[in-house]
Amino acid sequence: MDSYSARKLIERCFTDLTGWEKFVLEVNKEYVFRFPKFRETENRLRNEIEFLPILANRLSTPVPDYEFVWKGDRKYPHRFGGYRKINGVTVESRRYRNEWTRPLATQISGFLKELHSIRVRENSLKDVPRYSREEWLKSIGLQHNKIRRITYPLLDSKLRARSEEFWRALLADFAYARFRPTLIHGDLSTENILIDPATVRLTGILDWGYLQVSDPALEFAHLFMHESELGEEVLKLYGAQGSDLKKRVQWYVDSEPFYDIMWGVSHHWQKAKRLGLTRLAKTLRAKTEK
C-alpha cells in the first residue's frame, strides 16, 4: 500500500482523527503534514503558507514554518504542506486545570495584543481577506440569508421561530456595533494553542488559514466555546474595546451551531450536522429561559 492509499484508508475508517477540514499526519515525531479535505481548505492552506513567513518575523510566539510545500500535479493534484513539529501539546488534548487559567491567559492576551497591532499594508499581507466595518456587517446579513435557506428546513416550527428571533436581535445589535477592523487569527480555539503542560508556557499557535482583517470580537469566540473561564480571563487581560465587545463575542458563540449545521449539510457530514442541531436547540432554549 502506498502512502496516498494509507492516508485515504485512515480518513475513511477513523474519521474522528481527521478533523473537519483537514487530515494531519505526523512523520517520525519530527514533522507535521497537513492534507486539506476540500477546495476551500486548500485555498486557506495556500494563504497560510504565504502569510506565515511574514508573521513569524512580527510575533514572539512560534508559528509553523513550512519546509515542504506540494502544489499538486497530475498524479496528486491537491495541495498539502509540512513543517517541523513545534514543541508542546494542544490545550484541547489535555484535561484542563483551573490553575492554568491565569498564566495561560496572560500569555495569550499578550500574543493577541502583538498580533492585533500588526498593520496590513498594500505591499504586505496584501491577499489577507479584509473587511471594513460596513462590509463585515453586510457579510453577516448575507450569512443569515444562507442560514435561512440551508438550516431552517431542518428545524421544527418552534426552533425555526426561535432562530429567526435570535437573528433579528443579532442583526439589530450589530447595526450599531462600533469596532476598528483588526488583523485576527480567526480560529483561536484550544486545539490550535500549544503549551508545555509542565510549565504552562505558550509554545506555539497553529492553523492560520482563517487569518483576516475583521471584528476583533471574533478572535475570542472560540476560546469561549472551548474553555469559557480561559476566554473570560483572556478578554479581561486584553482590555475591552468598547462596551459592546463582550456582547459581540457572545453573539458569535451563540451563532456557531448554525454554521456547524451548514458545514455538515454542505460537506455531506452527518456528524457535524447532528452536532450542530443538538447545540442549536440547547443554545436557543437557554436564551429563551433567561
Tens digits of residue pLDDT in 165-187: 999 999 999 998 989 999 999 99
Residue 3 has pLDDT above 60, yes or no: no
* Measured distance CA(251)–CA(244) in Å, rounded: 11
CA distances from 131 to 66, 120, 128, 149, 181 (A): 27, 12, 10, 24, 7
Same fold for the pair 3-84 and 89-289: no
From CA 47, how far away is CA 262, in angstroms rounded?
Answer: 23
Query: Which stretches within 131-181 are classed as H helix?
Result: 133-150, 157-174
In CATH, what class is 89-289? Answer: alpha beta
- Rounded to whole angstroms, the Cα distance separating 157 from 146 reads 18
Q: What percent of the chain has pLDDT over 70?
A: 89
Local confidence band at 4 (pLDDT 50, 70, 90 cut-offs):
low
279 Cβ contact list (under 8 Å, min separation 6): 256, 257, 260
Domain boundaries, the chain: 3-84, 89-289
Predicted confidence (pLDDT) at residue 51 exceeds the cutoff of 50: yes
CATH hierarchy code of domain 3-84: 3.30.200.20
- pLDDT number for residue 241: 58
- Residue 41 has a pLDDT of 85
